[in-house]
Structure 1
Amino acid sequence: MSGFGFTREAEKTLADALVQHAMNNLPGVVQPQPEGPNRVEFRGTVRAPDGRDMPLRTVWEVGEGDGDTTMRFLTAIPLTR
């Protein structure tokens, strides 16, 4: 993802973009798991620091915490158009 302007030095920029990607592509597709928490897949674009929209698939794990549903990031996979 460094080809789109994301860097290790600005890891919060990537984290914020991944969260925004999930929010922009709600509700996502639930992937029930035989054991453990369900996963949710989001497909769409994420705005990269260099200004381009990058097609991306992210997968998040659904958890329960403090009465609210929480999501834990698992992976991001760039998509080809």
Structure 2
Amino acid sequence: MLLRQQLEVAQNEARSEKTILNIPELFLDHMGKLEAMSRRVLMLEEENKELINECRYLKDRLYQCEMDRAEMEVSTQKGN
């Protein structure tokens, strides 16, 4: 019985030491994942900026088209 308890204690200690030894590996793995996610966030932010700029450009073009149309309608009405 005493030997069994000693064996269990030794196994528990071995598991604890193995966990402690794995912590640096787990930390590096998590850091790598965080860096990859950070790069992805930066890429998405850049793509978002490009889309915002394109949206502004299209809004400006739409406004200009509406103004041109209104001017053409006024000049057409004056011509009649």
TM-score, length-scaled by structure 1: 0.22
- Name the TM-score, length of structure 2 as normaliser: 0.22
Structure with more of its chain in helix, by fraction? 2
